[in-house]
Amino acid sequence: MITAVGNAKKGTFAEILGADIVVNYKDENIIKIVKEFTGQRGVDVVVEHVGTKTWETSLRILGKGGRIVTCGATTGAEAKFDIRRLFYKQQSILGSTMGNVKSLDSALEMYRKGNIKPVIGKCFKMSEIRNAHTYLENGNQNGKVIVIPN
């Protein structure tokens, strides 16, 4: 698994969680590193949740027969690209919102069995909602940020 991060702290966290390669997108060439790691082949799957800012890079690191799973658009919802790349490389795009009831049931069962463990970064009380939002805006979180009703 190749993970893109914005700072060293998040890189260390990704390594602890099992990333094979960690790339700091702020000062490293993601495309070059991915191509070297995969022997120029590219990756099989890209989970793309950023949107406009990273769409082109996501397409460029995707290998033949690969799939982009898009589940967010925090930097914008419009993507511009040459659609011929998709059919030349037999690539596909899948939109995902959070799964469906069947997937949720499956994930809950894996959780109950101890096969997956959610990563909780920090908890805030509802009365601290402004602090929680600032915490997210600053990009300091590792894992989920939870808001607990008072």
* pLDDT given for residue 80 in this prediction: 86
| Residue 123: predicted pLDDT | 96
**pLDDT higher than 80, residue 3:** yes
**Same structural domain, 42 and 115:** no
DSSP 98: S
Same domain, 140 and 82: no
Q: Looking at the structure, do residues 59 and 109 belong to the same domain, yes or no?
A: no
Tokens at 114, concatenated: 């101890």
Structure tokens at 37: 């790691």
What distance in Å separates the CA atoms of residue 143 and residue 122, rounded to the nearest whole number?
A: 8
| pLDDT of 98 above 80 | no
Q: What is the pLDDT of residues 23-80, one digit of tens each?
A: 999 999 999 999 999 999 999 999 998 888 999 999 999 999 999 999 988 888 988 8
Which of the listed residues 80, 95, 110 is the one where a domain comes to its end? 95
**What confidence score (pLDDT) does residue 32 get?**
97
Phi, psi of 4 (to 5 degrees): -100, 130
- Angular region, 98: left φ>0, alpha ψ -120 to 50, beta rest: left
Task: Looking at the structure, tell me whether residues 73 and 106 fall in a common domain.
Answer: no
Q: Is the domain of 88 the same as that of 111?
A: no
Number of domains composing the chain: 2
Which is more confident, 98 or 20?
20
User: Could you tell me if 38 and 16 lie in one domain?
Assistant: yes
Residues 78 and 116 in one domain: no
This prediction's pTM: 0.80
- Structural domain span for residue 43: 2-95
